Structure 1
Amino acid sequence: MDHTELLNRYAELAVKVGVNIQKGQYLWIGAPLGTEDFVRKVVRKAYEAGAAAVHVQWQDEKITRLHYDLAPEEAFSYYPDWLVQAHDEIVEKRGAILQIEAEDPDLLKGISTERITTYSKVKAEKLDAFYEAIESDKISWSIVAVPSQKWADKVFPELPLDKRTEKLWETIFQTVRLYEQDPVCAWQKHMSKLEERAKVLTERNYAKLHYRGDGTDISVELPEDHLWLTGSSKNQKGHSFIANMPTEEVYTVPHRLGVNGVVSNTKPLAYEGNIIDGFTLTFKEGRVVDVKAETGQELLEKIIAMDEGACYLGEVALVPDQSPISMTGTLFFNTLFDENASNHFALGSCYPTCIKGGTEMNDLEREVHGLNDSVVHEDFMIGSSEMDIDGISQDGTIEPVFRKGNWAF
């Protein structure tokens, strides 16, 4: 198969499996410059599938960097109302969102952490209703990735310059199962296996998980009526979609006040064009009470202090060390891939879909059930080949869930 044919298959996968566009549905695509060829193929596939209209919102990394370098301080406390209205309209029309990632992991290196976190918070607050729709599966959404030269340079610095992007393409195609004879069928089989795993964990109904390994010794209480889910979801109209491609995780919601112990990251966290690495978080009764980082400590501290809920966990996710992405041996410096190669937690907001009736609860009811709320939702990787996880049942029985980084059942 030549590259053009693979791109066509990838575009079709993003449209038919990722957002699963329906006839008459609107599609919003967010994409950086440099991805034009792929985006045009996605637009074609979307219209062929019956999309009513496709809007592409382009981003230019060079302009983004100029903005962070040169704009006045007050610019970072502003997010335009017209852009909020555009996002709200997609929700009102029950459209779909496709985000295409190709970011330079070091785009904002050296930029003031105050500028980065101020803008992140303002954007999240203004788009609160939109993010609630995303977290509650009111609309279909998906994220896929396309290589850029700077991203490929970061991932494969040992290769000749002209081979790096090609290698990243090959690795991405591998992780999204494009080399399978029928990628759509391959994804259906893959998601069925993950859903079976999630079903077993939901039935086991653990009261708590205990993680140990590589600087981590932490217990995580799970709320009553929690559900284990996969990257496959259904929107309010009952249409399925896959939020992250690739995806290898099963995940649920922790109890906001039930996290105690120490956790250390095992892969770098790429956050808004910066790298945070070598960090340890200490939790007491759910809250982060101590932060240490070899790289990016100030930025990590500001993320955790962004609002009241940012210092609590909102997600726990299980990914075996022998997942296909992990087995590539590649460090992507991109959460879309790295979180699907490793067990991970997320600081900040939860997915209310992870508890029975959660999407119908109001904010107070969610809080009573132990769910966390925040403008932040930031995944960080903690898994390794040395990690053991025990599930502690409601009656205190201890069962192995992970041993040496992989499923124990």
Structure 2
Amino acid sequence: MHDPRLTKLAHQLLTHSLAMKENETVLITGSVNSKPLIKELIKASHELNIIPHVEYTDDEISRLLLTNATKEQFTAINKWNLSKFKDIDGFVQIVGEENDAEMSGVPQEQFRLAGMEMKTSNDFLVDERKWVLLNYPTNGFAQKAKMSFDDFYNYYIDVSTIDYKKMEQAQCSLKDLMDKTDKVHIEASGTDLTFSIKNIPAVMCAGEYNIPDGEVYTAPIIDSVNGTISYNTPCPYQGNVFHNVVLTFKEGKIVEATADKSEELNAILDTDDGARFIGEFAIGLNPKITEPMGDILFDEKIAGSLHFTPGAAYDDADNGNDSAVHWDMVLIQRDEYGGGKIYFDDVLIRENGIFVVEELKALNPENLL
């Protein structure tokens, strides 16, 4: 059955997220279960005189390939991908996950090897091409969100088609303030953390690269982080989910890390030298995303949240940290999650998830809905 909301989403992806122009080529990848959205993207592409190309993906096949691939195979895939990405203008990646644990049995060494050998093509895609990443509602995602499929489907469409132009306008004041800020101080239950973001750009996210979206991010000066942060949401990473993650920092480096699976957590943080330093600090702003579901594409946008990310920094907010790891971990500071405060240069800017300075109040949920 045709859902006109998917038509709206398809047009939004092509015109707002990717800003595609006539006669440009868009590569659309997605699993078979995302076919309804892929069909709408094809139809919208034709209406807009854009050239669509489609590739289907499958998590089970991807797991088998990833588990057994050699360095030479990853090198070959990197070469093929680089050639392919040079021939496109935009990229839509649709994730239709049915089994959250599908990749859990893949050895960490294979993820590290794939990351290293395929870095050239991945970096080219991210840095040189227009791209957007989104999930498609499946029974697997609905189960993770603890919703019926119908409820999750409607929720997904609702959070994905929010007024991103309005959100973008409201984010400008936060970006301006972050660009002028030196010292950041975060307080919450089990959390007392300080660091500097001086002279590192703040980047607004309002539907260009991720759907759903809603955050402003930067990065700390690499050796400025001191104190402890206790995350109060699930922390998924490559098919495994960690709970009650607590990280302690000294001069930027994670010197202690505990969780329900501390040994596995520390193994990931020992992937390389950069994995124990922070590559991103971001503030979540989507008013329609309020509860964690163990999917970072949603959870990092939760209203009243922040994420503090071990691993690589982004090029547009670069603090010099390089790593095969980029692990977004989320702390919610709303009242029902124990509250918390964010200070910029000793001025309280957000308390219990609500912005309290006048120039940022447009980002509070009631003003973005």
TM-score (norm 2): 0.86
Matched, 1:150 2:140: yes
Q: 1:95 and 1:116, CA in 2 relative to 1: closer, same or farther beyond 3 A?
A: farther
Structure 1 residue 24: Cα displacement: 2.7
Aligned positions of 1:37-186 closer than 5 A: 37-52=36-51, 54-64=52-62, 75=69, 79-93=73-87, 95-104=89-98, 106-108=100-102, 111=105, 115-133=106-124, 137-156=127-146, 164-177=148-161, 186=163
**Partners of 2:27 and 2:88 within 8 A in 1:** no
Q: Deviations over 1:174-206 (max 9, x none)?
A: 11236xxxxxxx32222121133212332xx22
2:12 equivalent to 1:13:
yes
State the percentage of identical aligned residues.
22
Q: What corresponds to 1:238 in structure 2?
A: none
1:263 and 1:380 mapped to 2: Cα distance? Answer: 10
Consecutive unaligned residues of structure 2, counting only runs of 5 or more, are 358-369
Q: What is the aligned-residue RMSD (CA, Å)? A: 2.4
What does 1:282-301 align with in structure 2 at a 5 Å threshold?
282-294=248-260, 296-301=261-266
Higher relative contact order (CA 8 A, sep 6+): 1
Say which is worse superposed, 91-100 or 165-174, in terms of deviation: 91-100
Deviations 1:280-338 (Å, cap 9, x if unpaired)? 111111111111111x4343222211111111111100125xx41344xx432211110
- Which of 208, 231, 256 is 1:265 aligned to? 231
| Corresponding letter in the other structure for 2:310 | L
1:215-254, Cα deviation, whole Å (9 max, x unpaired): 211112224x22211115xxxxxxxx70112212111121
CA contact (8 A) 1:77 1:119 kept: no
Q: Which residue of the other structure, out of 148, 169, 182, is the alignment partner of 1:192?
A: 169
Closer/same/farther in 2, CA of residues 51 and 285 from structure 1, 3 Å limit:
same
What does residue 306 of structure 1 align with?
271
What residue is the counterpart of 1:206 in the other structure?
Answer: 181
Contact 2:307 2:329 in 1 (8 A): yes
Deviation at 1:171, TM superposition (A): 0.7
* 1:397-408 equivalences in 2 (<5 Å): 398-408=346-356
**Aligned pair 1:227/2:191, yes or no?**
no
- The equivalent residue for 2:28 is 29
Which residue number corresponds to residue 367 of structure 2?
Answer: none
Q: 3-state SS of the aligned residue for 2:19?
A: coil
The change in CA–CA distance for 1:133 and 1:209 in structure 2 (over 3 A counts) is: farther
For residues 299 and 44 of structure 1, what CA distance do their matches in structure 2 show?
Answer: 45
Write the distance in 1 (CA, Å) between the matches of 2:282 and 2:18: 22
Q: 2:340 aligned to 372, 375, 387, which one? A: 387
| Preserved CA contact (<8 Å) 2:77 2:118 | no
Aligned amino acid, residue 102 of structure 2: L
| Contact 1:100–1:143 (8 Å) recurs in 2 | yes
Residue 229 of structure 1 aligns with an amino acid whose one-letter code is V
- TM-superposed CA distance for 1:147, in Å, is 1.0
What residue in structure 2 maps to residue 331 of structure 1? 292
- Alpha-carbon spacing, 1:214–1:33, altered in 2? closer, same or farther (3 Å): farther
For residue 109 of structure 1, report the CA deviation from its aligned partner: 7.1
* TM-score, normalised with respect to structure 1: 0.79
Q: Which amino acid aligns with 2:39?
A: R
CA distance in 2, matches of 1:315, 1:264: 16
Q: Is the contact made by 1:105 and 1:270 (CA closer than 8 Å) also made in structure 2?
A: no
What do the CA deviations read for 1:126-152 (whole angstroms, capped 9, x no partner)? 2323343455x4321111221111221
Q: 2:216 pairs with 229, 244, 250, which one?
A: 250
